[in-house]
Amino acid sequence: MNPNKQLWEKGDFTRLAETMRESGAELVSKLGITKGLNVLDLGCGDGTTAIPAAKSGANVLGVDIASNLVEAGNARVRKEGLKNCTFQEGDATNLQDLPDHTFDLTVSIFGAMFAPRPLDVAKEMVRVTRPGGRIVMGNWIPGDPTLVAQILKISSAYTPPPPDGFISPMLWGVETNVVERFASAGVPKENISCTRDTYTFNAPFSPSQFVDRFKNYYGPTMNAFDAAEKNGKTADLQRELETLFETQNKGTGGNTSIPATFLRVTVTV
């Protein structure tokens, strides 16, 4: 089985996506989406970006490698009564079902960055976007002190080393790598820009309960706990994550609100 597919089908990312809805809608509001625009959301999950884009009037296709998330996204679309949004399975490294120059806007918010073979990912995003269209990515930043980069850093310390040839998804958060990858796909460097932005996780429960969401439903953290259990270090990992969530929480009254910095990439094809 495809290891990337296995990772994202392992848990239930919808349980985390519930805490991302507000920031998803806020990000979409910055993208200048107008009625009739053809939008691809790559690594779409259950539609945190795709559904607000469809509500803005775009025709949206969401593509994700995880069948459970595609099913959840289509269920959300039916519940919302949206006729201009659909989800299907696909691999960001090979979008073989999608014709060239199909989309006015290709979006991938914390999605395609986790696919292997980043040069193939960049090439495919460029291929399916029409000339003059845009690509927008949201990517976590390696070494960043905010939430998600630190979750992944802490988790990696408890898991076995990755296989030879593994390319860290966090390298999508380095501007020089972004420019190099899209340039290799034929995009002039002056058409690639990066800026730092903030995504906030909001939850009506405590930081320690939020840690449990990651522990039980987020593939990379689930793998870290599996490995920690084998080494008798479960309590250490739990403590590190709870300290991280508590210290970064801006929420009050037993609620959680944690901002996380990411690199917002904009490419004109």
At residue 7, what is the residue type? L
pTM of the model: 0.96
Cα–Cα distance, 231 to 226 (Å, whole number): 9
pLDDT in tens, 48-78: 999 999 999 999 999 999 999 999 999 999 9
Average pLDDT over residues 210-223: 95
Cα–Cα distance, 106 to 31 (Å, whole number): 11
Between CA 114 and CA 188, with CA 140 as vertex, the angle to 5 degrees is 80
In the chain, the domains with their CATH numbers are 3-142+164-202+260-268 (3.40.50.150)
What is the residue-averaged pLDDT of the chain? 96
- Residue among 151, 148, 154, 248 nearest 199 (CA): 148
- Max alpha carbon distance in the chain (Å)? 54
Residue 164 has pLDDT above 90, yes or no: no
Classify strands 129-140 and 256-268 as parallel, antiparallel or unpaired.
antiparallel
Cα–Cα distance, 62 to 64 (Å, whole number): 7
Average pLDDT over residues 196-221: 96
